[in-house]
A = this chain, B = another copy of it.
Amino acid sequence: MCGIFGIESHSDAANLTYLGLYALQHRGQESAGLASWDGRQMRVERGMGEVREIFPPRVLTALQGERAIGHTRYSTAGRSMIADAQPVVVMTAMGPLAIVHNGNLANAMDLRHRLEQEGSIFQTSSDTEVILHLMAKNPREDVVDSLMLALSQIRGAYSLLLLTRDAVIAARDPWGFRPLIEGELTSEGAGLGQNRSSAACFASETCALDLLGARKVGELQPGEVVVAREGNVERRKLRNVAEAQASRCAFEHVYFARPDSEIFGDPVSEVRTEMGRVLAREQPVEADLVSPVPDSGLFPALGFADQSGIPFEMGLIRNHYVGRTFIQPKQEIRDFGVRVKLNPVRRLIEGQRVVLVDDSIVRGTTSRKIVRMVREAGAREVHLRISSPPTQWPCHYGIDTPRRKELIAAQKDVDEICAYVEADSLGYMTVDGMLSCLSGPPESYCTACWSGGYRVPVSAAGAKQGNLFPILTEAKS
């Protein structure tokens, strides 16, 4: 998963992009990158770590220019991805190009194989480079034409930003898997370049616009391409949009987006609270208190309490000073991995029948530790309620889920999962219940992770790219 941000025709472009990325870190905080066009050269900075560590003031100062794009990303632990860090910046016959990309191209491996056969060389294992090669193979006088030609060959999920010598171009795939918002930053003072009154900006979520005080213009439509060039904005449509069925990722609402964002036309916090209400109706239970598993269970727990009338309490406290690498103490501490993040509040829980509300169950191991921990803190009963349907299928469109055999709901039914996590009862939402909380037509959402209905077929190679293709690894991190 990733977050992207870009801005065009603003004298403070890199600094604002940095702030945009800061607001989008919940979409990936392991690496980040930023490119700006300074009028003569592309300037790039990429690094591992949190946004604030990668871009100290002297680095931001060096990223000069009036247009910039940036990227923040989740990386699988234990594998260095600095070589794959975005933006990818290249030189082509059309000049220098920088690109950032959120999503997953379903036919990336096929395209890559074909390109390599035709003599292309790849420096990363990322999908992103494929797009640039497709463009370079079909240069056009206007880079936008070349980009649209390239995108017409691609199937899958992408929300991307392309930085050229005179423009920031935003594009969203015809299926509309991932969100991409267009905003406008209006000058209130001296900040902007001469003769301009507003700057176009693009972000994965509205919370980035909120931080900058930018106005939301609207969500890019599936298959829409928005070109912000020297202060002007032009809108186009990809040709293959007609064939594509809208497939907005419902899981963004369940877990991924920030609750203060509005995506796919719905405010996330409201959707989540409503999910809690529907869940309480679909999976009622008698209990003394409802507690979220923080942070993502907070809104559904509020909704569950509201619907059920069971009191809401913060029965688990989260430690927000995140430390990724802990030496497991020699003397084993029970449920250590969960305890460094969450601590139960014994006086709230003791002797009570507790409803724990969480957003999803992946492998089941963490849920089991939480249930055990709450029970050890004195809970009389622990009822687990999940504000989404069982996750049975891996995502091929940009969310980092494990393979099917590691998904507990692909291996066990609900009763078996309940036994595994040692809860007194377990209840999931139905897919229909879930979709009833969203304002769009039910068929306009991708629910593949729950139903297995993949609307864009994935090439076989893609599923195993890590094994089939040698991967470049930096030794450093």
Q: Does A327 contact B (CB under 8 A)?
A: yes
Min Cβ gap A277→B in Å is: 13
The answer to whether A121 and B95 touch across the interface, beta carbons within 8 angstroms, is no
> A230 on the interface (CB 8 Å rule)?
no
When distances are taken between beta carbons in the complex, the residues of chain B under 8 Å from A364 are: none
Interface residues in A35-79 (C-beta closer than 8 Å to B): 40-45, 47, 50-52, 56-57, 59-60, 62-63
CB of A396 closer than 8 Å to a CB of B: no
Please determine whether B270 and A347 come into contact, CB atoms closer than 8 angstroms.
yes
Supposing A189-B332, A259-B317, A331-B190 touch, asked if A474 and B269 sit within 8 A by C-beta, the answer is: no
Measured in the bound complex, the distance between the Cα atoms of B40 and A302 in whole Å is 50
B15→A207 contact, CB < 8 A: no
Number of copies: 4
A138–B15 alpha-carbon span in the complex (Å)? 44
Task: Report if A472-B41 is in contact (Cβ < 8 Å); known contacts: A119-B139, A136-B120, A348-B270.
Answer: yes
Residue of B nearest to A34 (CB): B475
Complex CA–CA separation, A123 to B35 (angstroms): 14
- Size class of A's contact patch? 35 or more
A62 CB contacts on chain B under 8 angstroms: 475
Question: Whole-angstrom distance from the CB of A113 to the nearest CB of chain B?
Answer: 8
- Residues of B close to A15: CB separation below 8 A: 327, 329-330
Docked Cα-Cα span, A317 to B257, in Å, equals 12
Query: A85-93, A386-394, A407-415: which one contacts chain B?
Result: A85-93
Does A473 sit at the interface, judged by CB under 8 A? yes
Which residues from chain B contact A122 at a C-beta distance below 8 Å?
90-92
Smallest CB separation, A319 vs chain B (Å)? 7
Provide the A315-355 mask, 1 if CB < 8 A to any CB of B, else 0: 00101111111110111111000011001111110000000
Q: Report yes or no: A320 in contact with B320, Cβ–Cβ below 8 A.
A: yes
Q: Chain B: which residue is nearest A25 at the CB level?
A: B321
A110 adjacent to chain B (CB < 8 Å) = no
Name the CB-closest residue of B to A469. Answer: B91
Chain B residues with CB under 8 Å of A463's CB are none
Which residues of B sit under 8 angstroms from A42, Cβ to Cβ? 470, 472-473
Nearest CB on B from A15, distance (A): 5
Q: Is A416 an interface residue (CB 8 A)?
A: no
Query: In the assembled complex, which residues on chain B have CB atoms less than 8 Å from the CB atom of A89?
Result: 123, 472
Task: Determine whether the beta carbon of B123 is less than 8 Å from that of A136.
Answer: no
Q: State whether A123 touches B329 (Cβ < 8 A).
A: no
Q: Which residues of B contact A138 (CB under 8 A)?
A: 119
Q: B340–A22 contact, CB under 8 A?
A: yes
In the complex, A97 Cα to B120 Cα: how many Å? Answer: 13
CA distance A25 to B133 in the complex (A): 37
> Is B96 in contact with A470, judged by CB distance below 8 angstroms?
yes
> Is A212 part of the binding interface, using a Cβ–Cβ cutoff of 8 Å?
yes
Interface status of A195 (Cβ within 8 A of chain B): no
CB proximity of A74 to chain B, nearest CB, Å: 13
| Complexed CA–CA distance, A125 and B91 (Å) | 9
Given the interface contacts A343-B207, A345-B260, does A188 sit within 8 Å of B331 by beta carbon?
Answer: yes
Q: 8 Å CB contacts to B: which residues of A290-312?
A: 295, 298-299, 302, 306, 311-312
Chain B contacts for A330, CB-based, 8 A: 11-12, 15, 190-191
A137 contacts the other chain (Cβ, under 8 Å)?
A: yes
Q: Are A476 and B188 in contact (CB under 8 A)?
A: no
Contact check, B57 vs A258: say whether CB atoms are below 8 A apart: no
Tell me whether A211 is interfacial, beta carbon within 8 Å.
yes
Nearest B-chain residue to A63, judged by Cβ: B475
Question: Which B residue's beta carbon lies closest to that of A316?
Answer: B260
Residue A419 is within 8 A (CB to CB) of chain B in the complex: no
Would you give 25 A-B contacts (Cβ < 8 Å), ordered by A?
A11-B330, A16-B329, A25-B321, A42-B470, A50-B321, A52-B323, A56-B325, A57-B325, A59-B475, A89-B123, A92-B116, A92-B120, A93-B117, A93-B119, A96-B472, A97-B121, A119-B139, A188-B332, A189-B331, A211-B339, A258-B343, A259-B314, A262-B347, A267-B346, A295-B320
